[in-house]
Amino acid sequence: MNTTQQFLATAPATQRKYNKKQAIREFVSKFKIQFDMKDDAIDLRTMANNYDNGIIPLEDIHRALLTVLGPNFKPQAFDYDPSEGVEITIGNGTALNPKFAYINWDEAYLWPIFQRDVAPNHSGKIYGDFDATCVIVPCAIKFTIKGKVYYCIWDGHHTIQVCRLKGYNKFPVWFIDTDIIADDIIVKAGFNPKTERIEYGCWLAGHNMIRINSKNKRKLSPYDEFMIKLETRDADAVAMMNILRKSNCTPKRHATMAGAFTQIKSGQECFELADTYGNKGQYWDRALNFHRTVWPKAPLELEVFRPLSILYHKAATQGLALDAQFDKELEALLVDTYGDPSTVQETIKESYWDAYYNNKGTGRPAEHDKTRVVDGMINLYNQKVNRATLPPAEYIWKV
């Protein structure tokens, strides 16, 4: 019995219908430090705090995956050693594929029927950032045509070209050898093993190329990218984190806690707003401080901290000093008029659309929500307080 079977066998028996939330809760309760487990992400950074050195055994992540996937997900729970090659699919299984090899450059080919065009600028980009320690092994399919061997790359073409530019004379490939695939496997895929072995190889390579680069590609989320940059001491990420910490904000994938910062890209945009000397971050810093002071239990609301950052930046650029009293006035205005931060921005936007569709406003209509809320805040302040001089709203309406 392998670990998956053991886990499934020892999982608590219950007569009740499976409930994902309870299963997750039970799993997480075994850990001293609790962490989020959702369909789109298990919070491994927090989970890691339960382990010495912050290094998690893959088996524990495997169990977490099984918990979230639930009992309807049937893993292949048998011992399987692929180190000598694996059967490509269910068949008689004489083909031990794929294999690893170092090949010569004159054995490396590209068959455009299952590869995308090559991008010189992408190759140049990889070249500029090249590091021999991060070369991922290109994937290939091996054909023999009229006695000549061809290793045709179906993934990692740019990488292998950059290796060539870097002077490699041997190239690592992870390849499927079509010559040794059993006939019945080719038949099962709908090809004639006697006359269409190469066509079968092309189909397999093309299919895999789409699988890897499109169908099953999981794009790196802005949150993960930010957290990795932070760990690797990227200057902007570290500066952003310092600003977030000042206001007791935490980068999170989901807005599940007070001060949770989830809109990473937009946060970066706000951070980039610089003063005339090029100093970044001060307007975002002030906006976050405002948000956390006014709504201490709420997660950060994008369409509140972003318009505020823009407003502070615009005012400074135009030489308009917005003093601390302005923040007090704006706080009272927003809280008395709308209350919580979601209601603030949602109602301002509704008010904008009402003015826009009913021709109640003047000036240039905004093209983006962030500008709508900036204009809404300016208009509201001018209509209700009108003490400090604010930058002019581009679209004026009665909020």
Partner 1 sequence: MHLLYIFQDPLGSNDSKAGKTSHPDVRLGVYQNSYSARSHLAQFDYAFYGSKKAVDNLEKAIKTDFDWDIEQDGRGFSEWIGHHTSAQVLEKVEDIIEGYRSKVKKIPEKFLPLNINNLESFKEWLTDTE
**Contact residues: partner 1, CB under 8 A:** 19-22, 25, 255-256, 258, 294-299, 335, 338-343, 346-347
Give the nearer residue to partner 1 in terms of CB position, either 354 or 394: 354
How many CB atoms neighbour CB 274 within 10 A?
Answer: 15
Query: Between the CA of residue 398 and those of 21, 170, 303, 368, what are the distances in Å?
Result: 46, 70, 19, 19
Distance, CA of 2 to CA of 60 (rounded, Å): 14
Please report how close the Cβ of residue 292 comes to partner 1 at its closest, in angstroms. Answer: 11
Distance, CA of 123 to CA of 165 (rounded, Å): 9
Please report how close the Cβ of residue 45 comes to partner 1 at its closest, in angstroms. Answer: 18
Q: Which has the closest alpha carbon to 283: 313, 247, 244, 259?
A: 313
Please report how close the Cβ of residue 297 comes to partner 1 at its closest, in angstroms. Answer: 2
Please report how close the Cβ of residue 381 comes to partner 1 at its closest, in angstroms. Answer: 18
Give the nearer residue to partner 1 in terms of CB position, either 44 or 260: 260
Please report how close the Cβ of residue 342 comes to partner 1 at its closest, in angstroms. Answer: 4
Secondary structure of residue 95 in the 3-state scheme: coil
Beta bridge partners of 101: 173
Q: Which two tokens stand for residue 332?
A: 């009272």
Give the nearer residue to partner 1 in terms of CB position, either 164 or 254: 254
Cα of first residue to Cα of last residue in the chain, in angstroms, is 67
Give the nearer residue to partner 1 in terms of CB position, either 19 or 362: 19
307, 394 contact by CB (below 8 A): no
Give the nearer residue to partner 1 in terms of CB position, either 50 or 342: 342
Pairing relationship of beta strands 108-109 and 148-155 according to DSSP bridges: parallel
Please report how close the Cβ of residue 350 comes to partner 1 at its closest, in angstroms. Answer: 8
Give the nearer residue to partner 1 in terms of CB position, either 281 or 299: 299
Please report how close the Cβ of residue 63 comes to partner 1 at its closest, in angstroms. Answer: 19
301, 376 contact by CB (below 8 A): no
Please report how close the Cβ of residue 227 comes to partner 1 at its closest, in angstroms. Answer: 21
Burial degree of 378 (CB within 10 A; 0-12, 13-18, 19+): buried
How many CB atoms neighbour CB 262 within 10 A?
Answer: 18
Q: Which amino acid is at 60?
A: D
Give the nearer residue to partner 1 in terms of CB position, either 40 or 106: 40
Give the nearer residue to partner 1 in terms of CB position, either 282 or 347: 347
Over the Cα atoms of the chain, what is R_g? 29
Distance, CA of 10 to CA of 27 (rounded, Å): 12
Give the nearer residue to partner 1 in terms of CB position, either 35 or 109: 35
Please report how close the Cβ of residue 299 comes to partner 1 at its closest, in angstroms. Answer: 8
Give the nearer residue to partner 1 in terms of CB position, either 11 or 255: 255
- Backbone φ and ψ for 384, nearest 5 degrees, come out as -105, -30
232, 242 contact by CB (below 8 A): no
Handedness of CA 247, 250, 255, 261 (dihedral sign): positive
Please report how close the Cβ of residue 32 comes to partner 1 at its closest, in angstroms. Answer: 16
